[in-house]
Amino acid sequence: MADDRTVQVVVLNWRTALMSLAAADAALREMHGIDGGVTIVDNDSGDGSFEQMLAEAQRRGWLDTGRVAVVQSGWNGGYGAGNNHGIRQGLPDGRRPDLVYLLNSDAIPQPGAIRVLMDHLAAHSEAGFACSRLRGPDGEPHHTAFRFPSAAGEFEAASRSGPVTRLLRHKVVALPQPEVSCQVDWSAGASMMIRSDVLDWIGLFDEGFFLYFEETDLCRRAALVGSQTHYVVESEVVHIGSASTGMKEWRRVPDYWYDSRRRYFEKHHGRAGALVATAATLGGEAIWRLRCLIQRRETGVPRGHLVQLARHALRRQPLPVHVEKGSP
């Protein structure tokens, strides 16, 4: 039986024009025989990315096919806002898609990756999200299957202690690399397929998150209405990781990370729950630092991280205005 579902691929660019074009090109190859298209969103890069991608899309003849659109968000509201802008555009030919496939600019879907996610959602009506297995260009797996964050999970991660991990094994946020497709609480948004009907139900990304925790929040909101997130090992995507954010080279954690973390915990656990989670992190870090002191080793924690964590947690300010509702 022919599959008549439509798929909109959204590639969000911020100052990675060549990578975004490569991701879009790979997606187009994988979309062969699938009804839909690719929307490339420039998130107000301000470095000529939009013009470069538009010119290259025209040169390659993509715009003439009706399968590709290159659009400008108009402002850099972060990962969620940029993807929301792309989702709201609908397919390049104006139709509403049945499925939205979010693909990072530094992610290259391998043969069959998109079709596998489609087939998985078709076979599992309980799943609203299907996420790919990610690996680096060197073949090393990226661990992107997670539980939802909690105070206990924060304590376990910060303590870096075998006994603590064994005691709190059911609260560890980062799950062992799945060997078979399975349900998880949430997974990375680098390669994530979502039913449009689910987005109609729960809303789009919360734009109060500039970067980080936004896909965690989206998956949690879906879980609250009974829609599952599945990690699909048969869908493989090569992912460079942190190409836009530079996270691998951070010497100081940016303020938006602390703000996103606080927003997530306050939104889902309340102000008191957020403070408990921060206290748990500080307690875990105390254990880790004591161990490092005894062993005369570096902690590996960015300078000023714990002070900033506490300051952001204790700062009195309301949660910023956010946007969730919206239809593709």
Give the pLDDT mean for 304-317. Answer: 90
Measured distance between the N- and C-terminal CA atoms of the chain, rounded to whole angstroms: 27
Give the pLDDT mean for 231-241. Answer: 95
| Residue 309, Cβ density class (10 Å: 0-12 exposed, 13-18 middle, ≥19 buried) | buried
Query: DSSP letter string over 139-179?
Result: SPEE--EEPPP-HHHHHHHHHT-HHHHHHTTTT-SBPPPPS
Lowest-confidence region among 54-63, 98-107, 229-238, 251-260:
251-260
pLDDT single digits (tens) 157-204: 999 999 999 999 999 999 999 999 999 999 999 999 999 999 999 999
CB atoms inside a 10 Å sphere around CB 252: 10
Residue type, 33: G
Closest CA to 259 of 226, 300, 213: 213
Quick one: pLDDT at residue 315?
86
Give the pLDDT mean for 51-69. Answer: 97
Give the pLDDT mean for 53-70. Answer: 97
Quick one: pLDDT at residue 328?
33
Query: DSSP letter string over 198-247?
Result: HHHHH-S--TT-SSSSHHHHHHHHHHHTT-EEEEEEEEEEEE--STTT-G
Q: How far is CA 202 from CA 71, 122, 261, in A?
A: 25, 20, 21
Tell me: pLDDT of 324 over 80.
no
Quick one: pLDDT at residue 321?
45
What is the enclosing helix (H) or strand (E) of 134? strand 127-135
pLDDT single digits (tens) 7-47: 999 999 999 999 999 999 999 999 999 999 999 999 999 99
7/185 Cα distance (integer angstroms)? 24
Quick one: pLDDT at residue 247?
54
Instruction: Find out whether 207 and 78 touch, Cβ atoms under 8 Å.
Output: yes
Quick one: pLDDT at residue 318?
56
Quick one: pLDDT at residue 36?
98
Quick one: pLDDT at residue 251?
73
Quick one: pLDDT at residue 131?
98
pLDDT tier, 326 (very low <50, low <70, confident <90, very high otherwise) = very low
Instruction: Find out whether 315 and 291 touch, Cβ atoms under 8 Å.
Output: no
Quick one: pLDDT at residue 250?
55
50/182 Cα distance (integer angstroms)? 38
Quick one: pLDDT at residue 319?
57
Mean pLDDT over the full length of the chain = 93
Closest CA to 33 of 57, 7, 9: 7
